[in-house]
Structure 1
Amino acid sequence: MQTSAMQTIVSMKWGTRYGADYVNRLWSMIKRNTARPTRLICYTDDSSGVDREVECMPQLEIELPENLRWLPWRKIALWDRTLPGLSPGDPALFVDLDIVVTGNLDSFFTFEPEAKFCVIRNWTQMEKNIGNTTCFRFHVGMAPEIMDDMVADPIGIWQRYRNEQRYISAVTRIPMTYWPEAWCASFKHGLLPRWPLNFVKVAPLPPDTRLVAFTGKPDPDEARDGRWPAPWYKKTYKHVRPTPWIAENWR
């Protein structure tokens, strides 16, 4: 269980898009970028191949219709009253698997210590008070109504909000505190040079960045190698040059 001396990071792996290597790379990056005792809990439906130091727990249960079951809506289960491996009220830092850690993570636990919900200000909707749930700090069981309401009316909530982070941002009664803007970057929406410069320039890594999110495509390995899977008719603008700093950090 959580102790005052231990920092807990949690992540989730389900389905087949991300394998055990993503969990293992995340754990390796966490160990290199924390000075205080830190553990990683991974809630997953398949723990095969995951480093034994990672605390794998069963996939979190949430009743969702088939069209939402394997989408990020599963993350709503983190708002349940209890979570395996943690006690009610424990603080935890959630991070998606498809990130690259490029700086110290300890400060994500000490930033605004009285804040109950710290989250990224969504890069593509900066003015709309929407939190991006790639990385957020929360306390276990602090807002179970978020999950209760989703389970009670999943189709209605999906139709109204379209994605889980818009839903959470709209209904939470807990004030959202945003991480410092420099800490969390979107590879696609913040670092990748705009067309047509993306054909000739490598995406830079700003010095104060601590976490880079890879929403949608390309994934970290694809951007690292200069690959962007896309239909042929989108290749005229969907392009990324090989990005050395990903290889240096995503390991």
Structure 2
Amino acid sequence: MDIAKQLERALTLDGAGEIDAALVCLEAIDGQIPDQAAHLILVGQLYQRLGADAPSLRHLLRALELKPDDADLHMSLGYHYMDNGDPAAALNYFQRHLQLEPTSLEGQVFAGRTLDFLGRLSEAEAALRGAQAMAPKDIDILHQLGRVLLRQKNINAAEAVFGEATRQQAGDVLAQIGLARCRALSAASPPGARSEAAPATVVCVKHGDKYGPEYVNRLHAMVRRNAASIPGFVCFTENAEGLDAGIQVQPLPGAGLAGWWNKVALFRRDLAGVEGRVLYLDLDVVVTGNLDPLLCHPGDFVIMDNDYVPGFNSSVMLFEAGARSGIFEDFSEADMERLDGDQDWIALKAPDAELWPHLWCVPYRLRAAIAPPAETKVVAFSGRPNPSDYPAEWVRELWR
């Protein structure tokens, strides 16, 4: 088999978004790749883009043995460990990259992001301010820096950074989200003593054929195994075929809305079949611990933090049915066109939302690829892999 042609074909398929076909191409020549750093790096980085972590790491580590001072190779290994839940290892590679290439903007940014994930916020701020000095008009750096300042509760400094982002790029949505969050936190009163609330009804949304009924059924089973009691489990869907008994079915709440935008309609005043407190779960989550603290959390509106950019992750939300109806009533088709997803809209309309306690709800890639933290109760998946890919043994044990 012509290795060069097969690699070229795999690259073409990758560019066209045909991930599975590109993987087939690579796997056909995997054992024939020349033991040379350039070839190993090319193949390792391509596997990385395709989400094939194990073969990617194998090729990149072998390349490192052959070319230990390759700066780009250290970046690729940093990406691998960041995407696979080992930020400490990732930081070592990003810092080594910076030793080899001190003026690397990319290295400076990712060192800052990794320090943020590790909770080393003052160091993260210093790294990102260094990146800002290199590229003062880079909007993404301003987003990251503002997010770190918010986490440090340095509201005035965060507001200044997000304000600079809006001056650099009028209409920048993430900067608008950051500014709204700054204003909400500035106006917030310190929380008083709160008692545990009655358990919430669990709801999910199944739209189209992206996820089959097995995702709803497994979510229902995981909730039942991990909660003392729930008032009900409601699935909003246009197709109830294959759903287990015990799952209450209601029509999709948002006529004409597609995919994740249906989540916006969960905030309507007259949400069918649900009263009182609601715990929303994405279909592609895995329950890893006791859900009672989430179900009985006393917060008015609680949501996941976004580990990547200013704003929220709407995979796990707790709210009072009908209490935030403006999220639905003020929504328009124009908002769908200008925003990346429902969570941007929710962040703009509910910037005062409370965040779940640290590590209760985490993203798979960044925080749980090796194993979920002990405190974690729900792991959210975004894109590839899905729980049905069984990317880790713990997923196979718990997603059932």
Shift of 1:5: 6.0
Alignment correspondent of 2:222:
29
Matched, 1:50 2:214: no
Alignment correspondent of 2:374:
207
Structure 1 residues 1-251: aligned runs within 5 Å: 7-63=200-256, 69-87=257-275, 90-111=276-297, 113=298, 115-125=299-309, 128=310, 130-150=311-331, 153-155=332-334, 157-172=335-350, 175-192=352-369, 203-222=370-389, 224=390, 226=391, 243-251=392-400
Shift of 1:17: 0.9
User: For 1:92 and 1:118, how far apart are their aligned partners in 2?
Assistant: 10
5+ residue gaps, structure 1:
64-68, 193-202, 227-242
Kindly indicate whether the alpha-carbon contact (under 8 Å) linking 2:226 and 2:289 is maintained by their aligned counterparts in 1. Answer: yes
Fraction of identical pairs, as percent:
32
Alignment correspondent of 2:71:
none
Kindly indicate whether the alpha-carbon contact (under 8 Å) linking 1:43 and 1:58 is maintained by their aligned counterparts in 2. Answer: yes
User: For 2:329 and 2:198, how far apart are their aligned partners in 1?
Assistant: 32
User: Which structure has the highest strand share of the two?
Assistant: 1
TM-score (structure 2 length as normaliser): 0.49
Alignment-mate amino acid for residue 342 of structure 2: E
User: For 1:83 and 1:154, how far apart are their aligned partners in 2?
Assistant: 20
Shift of 1:39: 2.1
User: For 1:120 and 1:19, how far apart are their aligned partners in 2?
Assistant: 25
User: 3-state DSSP class of the match of 2:264?
Assistant: helix
Kindly indicate whether the alpha-carbon contact (under 8 Å) linking 2:207 and 2:259 is maintained by their aligned counterparts in 1. Answer: no
Kindly indicate whether the alpha-carbon contact (under 8 Å) linking 1:92 and 1:138 is maintained by their aligned counterparts in 2. Answer: yes
Residue deviations 1:147-199 (CA, integer Å, cap 9, x gap): 1221xx312x13443211011111226x211001211111123233xxxxxxx
Shift of 1:71: 2.6
TM-score (structure 1 length as normaliser): 0.76
Alignment-mate amino acid for residue 186 of structure 1: P
Shift of 1:35: 1.2
Shift of 1:6: 5.5
Residue deviations 1:230-251 (CA, integer Å, cap 9, x gap): xxxxxxxxxxxxx111111100
User: For 2:199 and 2:354, how far apart are their aligned partners in 1?
Assistant: 22
Alignment-mate amino acid for residue 109 of structure 1: L
User: For 1:250 and 1:169, how far apart are their aligned partners in 2?
Assistant: 29
Shift of 1:61: 2.9
User: For 1:96 and 1:186, how far apart are their aligned partners in 2?
Assistant: 12
RMSD of aligned alpha carbons: 1.7
State the structure with bigger RCO (CA 8 A, min sep 6), 1 or 2.
1
5+ residue gaps, structure 2:
1-196
Shift of 1:62: 3.0
User: 3-state DSSP class of the match of 1:79?
Assistant: coil
The 3 A distance-change label for structure 1 pair 62 and 143 is farther
Shift of 1:205: 2.2
User: 3-state DSSP class of the match of 1:72?
Assistant: helix
